[in-house]
Amino acid sequence: MSRIIVIGGSGHIGAYLIPALVEQGHDVVNVSRGQSGKYRPHAAWQSVEQVTLDRTAEERSGTFASRMAGLRPDIVVDLISFDLPGTQSLVHALRGKVEHFLHCGTIWVYGHQPAIPVDEGEPVNPFGEYGINKAAIETWLLHESRRTGFPATVFRPGHIVGPGWAPIGPCGNLDVEVFSRMARGEEISLPNCGLETLHHVHADDIAQFVMRAIANRPASVGETFNVVAEKALNLRGYAEAMFRWFGVEPRIRFQPFDEWKAGQTREQAEQAWEHIARSPCMSMEKARRRLGYQPRYTSLAAIQEAVAALIAAGAVQAGPR
């Protein structure tokens, strides 16, 4: 078994990935700021070595990469890299010392695409700081893999969802009140014709992918993979399905975006625009074909599990369905 460092393992993906790694017998180190509780309590955490540090501060002082190399990993899973210089420094420190380096990217690197579903053969076309920075990281990593043999794999999750946090909702933002309104059978409004798309993925399925990539290193090194549920949802279909999940008939009004956003907070409107302007719809066939990835959750099943947890926590008000 391997010694595996998970950078940012206290977050959504790590809640599923770290217990799975421990259960397979790996020696696991979780590197995090240590400021958040576990999204999913599990006995396996008792066997995990915890390293508490602030990555941003350590990178600023120039010590982060050497500290990671000093932990003597065989495999590194980096879930929280958001700028190219930090990744470059880490790779230089790990070169020749690790068997596998897995970088968590994002489907936002695709930006606008002319045809869907989008597979990994399409060129990236990012817009916005986040997508542009993540595209720069993965482009450099893949170049290093081809040029120097650095054992990098890039995986691009969709909208991550699961119990313990709010899903991107049918309005394309994080407003959970929309679920309470649907549960009460109230009318909701959607932007435009509700045909823009979202593509979710359960955090457990991302963990499944990482496990498969580690187990099938020759098939994953030097490659990028979309990691999403099998099908995307359009906003209208998403809303209709959730109304019916609550046991009521859909009541939906459609408004041009500029009119619709007047009924939202500025943050909600901006979140919605960021999502619907990209309208992701990705293919996951490469991951299935090369690694045997098979998501256990559909987009709706993952969302419904998250909303059920919000109901149990009192964040969404819903009567019996």
What is the reported pLDDT for 40? 79
Q: Is 299 left (phi over 0), alpha (psi -120 to 50) or beta?
A: alpha
Mean pLDDT, to the nearest integer, of 69-80? 98
Q: Calculate helix-pair angle for 299-313, 235-245, nearest 10 degrees.
A: 50
This prediction has a pTM of: 0.96
Residues 6+ apart with CB under 8 A from 35: none
Report d(CA 197, CA 186) in Å as an integer: 23
Q: Is the pLDDT of residue 73 over 90?
A: yes
Mean pLDDT, to the nearest integer, of 6-19? 95
pLDDT tens for residues 176-202? Answer: 999 999 999 999 999 999 999 999 999
Q: Between the CA of residue 25 and those of 9, 134, 206, 209, 247, what are the distances in Å? A: 17, 31, 19, 17, 44
Mean pLDDT, to the nearest integer, of 295-307? 98
Mean pLDDT, to the nearest integer, of 223-234? 98
Least Cα distance to 102 among 114, 117, 112, 91 occurs for: 91
Residue 226, SS3 per DSSP:
strand
Tokens of 104: 């968590």
Q: Is the pLDDT of residue 289 over 70?
A: yes
Mean pLDDT, to the nearest integer, of 272-279? 97
What are the E-state strand segments in 45-151? 49-52, 75-78, 100-104
Residues 6+ apart with CB under 8 A from 192: 254, 255, 256, 257, 260, 276
Sheet of 49-52, strand order: 49-52, 27-32, 3-7, 75-78, 100-104, 152-157, 224-227
Mean pLDDT, to the nearest integer, of 24-38? 84
Q: Is the pLDDT of residue 28 over 60?
A: yes
What is the reported pLDDT for 318? 82
Fold of the domain built from segment(s) 163-199+231-280+298-313: UDP-galactose 4-epimerase; domain 1 (3.90.25)
What is the reported pLDDT for 1? 86
**Residue ranges of the alpha helices (H) in 165-265?**
177-183, 203-215, 217-220, 235-245, 257-260
Domain positions in the chain are 3-160+201-227, 163-199+231-280+298-313
Instruction: Check if the beta carbon of residue 90 is closer than 8 Å to that of residue 65.
Output: yes
What are the E-state strand segments in the chain? 3-7, 27-32, 49-52, 75-78, 100-104, 152-157, 159-161, 188-191, 197-198, 200-202, 224-227, 233-234, 252-255
Locate tokens 């501060």: which residue? 57
pLDDT tens for residues 109-152? Answer: 999 999 999 999 999 999 999 999 999 999 999 999 999 999 99
Residue 32 β-bridge partners: 52
pLDDT tens for residues 302-315? Answer: 999 999 999 999 99
What is the reported pLDDT for 35? 57
Q: Is the pLDDT of residue 215 over 80?
A: yes
Mean pLDDT, to the nearest integer, of 36-46? 78
Q: What are phi and psi of 143, to 5 degrees?
A: -65, -45
Mean pLDDT, to the nearest integer, of 246-266? 97
Residue 232, SS3 per DSSP:
coil
Residue 273, SS3 per DSSP:
helix
Fold of the domain built from segment(s) 3-160+201-227: Rossmann fold (3.40.50)
Q: Is the pLDDT of residue 320 over 60?
A: no
The helices-and-strands tally (H runs, E runs) of the chain is 13, 13
Lowest mean pLDDT among 41-50, 133-142, 224-233, 243-252: 41-50
Report d(CA 221, CA 111) in Å as an integer: 24
What is the reported pLDDT for 38? 62
Residue 170, SS3 per DSSP:
coil
What is the reported pLDDT for 80? 96
Q: Considering Cα of 76, then 48, then 157, then 215, what sign does the dihedral take?
A: positive
What is the reported pLDDT for 243? 98
Q: Is the pLDDT of residue 321 over 70?
A: no
Report d(CA 164, CA 305) in Å as an integer: 10
